[in-house]
Amino acid sequence: MISIGVLVSGRGSNLESILDAVDNAYITKGKIKVVISNKPNAPALGIAEKHSVPGIAVDDHGFPKKSWEYDQKAMAALKTHGVTPRDGLVLLAGYMRIVSDQFIDEYHNRIMNVHPALLPSFPGLEAQKQALEHGVKVAGCTVHFAEKTVDAGPIILQAHVPVREDDTIESLSSRILREEHRIYPEAVRLFTEDKLHVDGRRVIIKA
Ligand code: GRF
């Protein structure tokens, strides 16, 4: 059984999709042990509570966006709940901080992120707006392992959606979000079933 910790900052819909996947036994070899939010008032903490999972606020007020000092506090909470660098899994789900190099090194290939664009296009903030403004005809989302460069780690799964002529940022974002809620639990399931093998930049999905 893989112990999972989820780092959040806001709404928590991706968190909920993974909690649901565990509740529905789509994910059977992983359990969410803790949800950690850098924002004490994040709705995601209420979602954790609804699912009877410990939700902890580790307030980042006063810390820079990337901080080893802050990450040590978050990592202590992960470890207290059994999410260890040896056999745990950390999920970034709408987490609006940049993970420090030391955190990435310690949980090497054990931190996943979901990004609302087909990486390597449109990394960073407001990815759906970037895609719409660029005029792409196909948009989508990516689940990848986190590495030191933001939104650049080995890609685990991607899903595409069409961009419509009358799309707004909201309509495109909600079409992409539905796919995030499908592929993030799928990537977690693959990891917990030991079906992911990282070979350089490529993630091989074992049969
Ligand atoms: C998602 O679109 C995710 O891809 C991005 O931030 C958003 C978080 O949404 N990183 P939620 O908090 O999971 O609802």
Whether ligand 1 lies within 6 angstroms of the CB of 115 is answered as yes
- Percentage of the chain with pLDDT > 90? 100
Ligand 1 atom at minimum distance from 128 CA: 2
Q: Which of 61, 108, 115, 197 is catalytic?
A: 115
CB 74 within 8 A of CB 58: yes
- Rounded to whole angstroms, the Cα distance separating 173 from 196 reads 28
CA of 143 to the centre of ligand 1 (A): 12
Give the pTM.
0.98
- pLDDT, tens digit (0-9, with 9 covering 90-100), for 10-64: 999 999 999 999 999 999 999 999 999 999 999 999 999 999 999 999 999 999 9
Helix 127-134 / helix 169-192 crossing angle, nearest 10 deg: 120
Q: Which residue is closest in CA terms to ligand 1's atom 1?
A: 94
Q: Hey, what amino acid is at 29?
A: K
Instruction: Provide the 10 A C-beta neighbour count for residue 172.
Output: 21
Whether ligand 1 lies within 6 angstroms of the CB of 153 is answered as no
- Rounded to whole angstroms, the Cα distance separating 43 from 10 reads 6
Backbone angles phi, psi at 132, to 5 degrees: -65, -45
- pLDDT, tens digit (0-9, with 9 covering 90-100), for 106-137: 999 999 999 999 999 999 999 999 999 999 99
CA of 94 to the centre of ligand 1 (A): 4
Nearest CA among 110, 79, 88 for reference residue 198:
110
Distances in Å between the Cα of 112 and the Cα atoms of 30, 45, 146, 160 are: 14, 19, 5, 19
What is residue 196's predicted lDDT score, i.e. its pLDDT? 98
Question: 3-class DSSP state for residue 141?
Answer: strand
Q: Which residue is closest in CA terms to ligand 1's atom 14?
A: 13
Strands 111-115 and 155-162: unpaired
What is residue 49's predicted lDDT score, i.e. its pLDDT? 98
Q: Is 115 a catalytic residue?
A: yes
